[in-house]
Chains A and B, each alone.
Chain A
Amino acid sequence: MANRINGSMIVIVILSAAVGAGIAMAVTRSTAERALGPARTPDGKPNFSGIWEANNEAYWDLQAHEARPGAVTQPGVYPAYDFARVPAAPVLALGAAAGVPGSLGVIEGDGEIPYKPEAAAIKKENGANWIDRDPELKCYLPGIPRAMYMPYPFQIIQSTNKIQMAFTFANAARTIHLDKAEGPPDDTYMGHSVGHWEGDTLVVDVTSFNGKNWFDRAGNFHSASLHLVERFTPIHPDAIRYEVTVEDPETFTRPWRIAMPLYRRLEPNIQLIEYPCIEFAEEFLYGHVRKKQLVKRWEGETMIIDITRKVPPGDRFFEWYRK
């Protein structure tokens, strides 16, 4: 009897301990989940305010691609093999710092961009004429979605009726209207954004584009008929899942989607630093109409940028070569 009682008591004690531990674990987990949940505004919406940045290679090319030796390449000693290209003059002087990192791409599904045949031809030409055609090189307003995944931080200032986004590149900005706001009477670079909440997801409808923007440095482009639906969903206090449905019947045969995380910049002293690229692009844009050429020079109808490097004094490699 005594033994039985003891046995029961032991079982009860063990059970209680297990239940207690279970409760404790449950409490711990829910506290942890709360701590890991998104920051919230006073009205309970996820609070995206802060400084964010995509951390991927989509700004080079939305599609999966392997690394390549230069942002601009030319045929190497095996002209027949496309995989054997070498860095071309515009970037050669920058060595291995001028290559393009590989990427799995950010396009959902089959990873393809469903261009219409004529648009596919334009995309190919864009890629081949990147330096002359990419609006980024001219410091033009980057447009949406491109501004969202350029390799610079951007800031979200989230209020109740308006969400402002400030981008480092070109000091670009966008306002997302959460209240009713009719679009502008004219087309724009950055689009007209109207948002609403679907649970914890901010859904933004973007229209009124002027069709002058690209998606990336690979020549992927769209027309003025572009219509985006963006979805911002918190997946962690310091990460947002950013998805965009891209629709443009002039350019694509069907809607397609990209998705990527946006990460919070966690440096305690993070702030946007000016990237005054209008100034940076002046020589690129106007250097050839100077009275005295500074970087570019003319030979008849040809504009030339010399890539000359002086052998650095004391460079053993070059000195050996000279011997």
Chain B
Amino acid sequence: MRSRLLGVIAVAALVLATAGLLRTARVPDEGRTPLSVSSPGPASRTPWGEPDLQGIWTDPYQTPLERPAQFAGKEVFTDEERAALDKQRAGILRRDQRLERGTERDVAGAYNAVFQSVRPAGKRTSLVVDPPDGRIPTLTPEAAKRSQTENEYRLAMLEATETCKEKEPACSGGKYGPPSPKRAEMPPFYNTGRINRNDGPEDRSMTERCMGALLPDFGGYRRIVQSPGSVSILYDTGQGQGWERVIPVTGRPHLPSSIRQRFGDSRARWEGNTLIVDVTNFSPKFSYRGAREKLHLMERWTRLDRNTIEYSVTIDDPTTWIRPWTVKQQLIRQDEPANRIYYEPRCHEGNFGLPTMLLGARAEERAFQRGKGPDPATKDTATDFGNEGGVDALTGNGGAIF
């Protein structure tokens, strides 16, 4: 009971710590038309003659990254289909459903629907535009092997839990049995995700460690400010995990390959109205869908009209995918006064959840040693059970925030 309580406290603390930051996840507009901007838009050029990308931008629509199987062969929705989808989606309880009090499933739902961003259905059935099937390309054999290694280790951490005993989807491919000896071993990879162990911060996800933001990023808001030779993008993304990016518009070569950065190294040039950004030098410490230091992005930011930027990014890592793939997204200009507030990225400053989670785990271990509690290995603190309220066809996972 005590351990369960500690778990609840830990989750509640994380909720409180980040609650102030989650307001950015609100739905900006329920309408279909781009937000109207009452004040006159800026000129399409900056006073120094470069294309003007400045302002606050977001993609106000919900579009799946990959085309869901049920929409195979279909590139765009009709307006009627979007309306029908939104009507169906509005009926989903999502995480507002309380489950049996005191169970892991109930605790895992501590972030209820208030914290979720539910945006109206977009026009396209996938953000991925290339390959044409709207699906992320197949993993290379070596990436598939890496993914399998990670998955096996993750499943081993769950082996003694109810999740595996009850054959929950989270244990798919795993088995139920006594605690795995692998619990005492280091993961055979540099962990960035959430595993069912709490030995130290490295066992928790980058999001729980307030380092969840990555490039490429398709959510949240961006404030773009330009000066001659520089484009600054303040990303307000994740749970107060936004970050500041300065893109040099320069012909200078990339940083030496010995310098690896979480957000890579950006080099941009203007081509007509398009800002083309080449991003390399990513860090092995972070993983974008399995791609680490070999990740290479080619972004294109184009101001289509006063209210629209087309953002496209070609994502490549020959050690991860069998071919490059491209995502395209329309960012809609947001009203300045209504979005004037700078939501500072202060997840880390309020991160009482992470140490409390670790403290809770230490307390559970002590209780177990004294015969006063269950083996912590039998508890599941990694699975997101947030699907109970029904599945959203456009987010797949019921709109989980992680």
| B225 interface hit (Cβ, 8 Å) | yes
Bound CA span A274–B283, Å: 11
Q: How far is the CA of A155 from the CA of B244 in the complex (A)?
A: 11
The answer to whether A182 touches B340 (Cβ under 8 A) is: yes
A139 to B47, CA, bound (A): 37
Query: Interface residue tally of chain A, by bracket?
Result: 35 or more
Tell me which of B225, B261, B358 contacts A163 (CB under 8 A). Answer: B225
Are A140 and B349 CB-contacts (below 8 A) given A274-B262, A279-B211, A285-B355? yes
A164 close to B340 (CB less than 8 A): no
**B260 nearest CB across to chain A (Å):** 9
- CB pair B47–A184 under 8 Å, yes or no, is no
User: Would you list the 5 A-B pairs with minimal beta carbon distance, nearest first?
Assistant: A173-B244, A49-B227, A289-B358, A291-B199, A164-B225
B358 in complex: contacting residue of A159, A279, A290, CB < 8 Å: A290
**Which A residues, 143 to 179, have Cβ-Cβ distances below 8 Å to chain B?**
155-160, 162-164, 166-167, 171-175, 177, 179
Q: Is the CB of A49 within 8 A of B261?
A: no
Q: Do B365 and A291 have beta carbons less than 8 Å apart?
A: yes
Task: For residue B340, give the distance in angstroms from its CB to the closest CB of chain A.
Answer: 5
Residues of B within 8 A of A174 (CB): 342
Q: Is the CB of A157 within 8 A of B337?
A: no
Question: A155 near B262 (CB under 8 angstroms)?
Answer: no
CB of A273 within 8 Å of the partner chain? yes
Given contacts A140-B349, A157-B232, A163-B225, contact A278 B210 (CB under 8 A): yes
Nearest chain B CB to A97 CB, angstrom units: 23
B194 within 8 A of partner (CB): no
A291 engages B362 (CB within 8 Å): yes
For residue A285, give the distance in angstroms from its CB to the closest CB of chain B.
7
Q: A258 near B: Cβ within 8 Å?
A: no
Number of interface residues of B (CB under 8 A): 51
Interface residues of A in 253-300 (CB under 8 A from B): 269, 271-274, 276, 278-279, 282, 285-286, 289-292, 294
Option from A271, A282, A289 in Cβ contact (under 8 Å) with B359: A289
Alpha-carbon separation in the docked complex, A114 to B149 (Å): 61
Q: Which stretch in A4-12, A102-110, A185-193, A235-243 binds the other chain? A: A185-193
A282 adjacent to B209 (CB under 8 Å)? yes
Of A141, A274, A291, the residue contacting B200 (CB under 8 A) is A291
Residues of B bordering A, CB below 8 Å: 20, 46-48, 54, 198-201, 209-211, 223, 225-232, 234, 243-244, 246, 248, 252, 255, 259, 261-263, 285, 336-337, 340-346, 348-349, 354-355, 358-359, 361-362, 365
A157-B227 contact, Cβ under 8 Å, with A278-B209, A286-B354 = yes
- The reply to whether B47 and A43 form a contact with Cβ atoms under 8 Å apart is yes
A286 touches B355 (CB 8 A): yes
A278 touches B244 (CB 8 A): no
B261 touches A274 (CB 8 A): yes
Tell whether, in the assembled complex, residue A159 and residue B227 are in contact, meaning their CB atoms are under 8 Å apart.
yes
Q: Is the CB of B261 within 8 A of A157?
A: no
Known: A49-B229, A289-B362, A291-B361. A189 touches B341 (CB 8 A): no
Besides A49-B227, A289-B355, 5 other CB < 8 A contacts? A140-B346, A155-B232, A160-B46, A166-B244, A171-B244
A157 touches B200 (CB 8 A): no
CB–CB A141/B342 < 8 A: no
Chain B residue nearest to A190 in the complex (CB): B344
Judge whether B349 and A141 touch: CB under 8 Å. yes
Residue of B48, B255, B348 with most chain A CB atoms under a 10 A cut-off:
B348
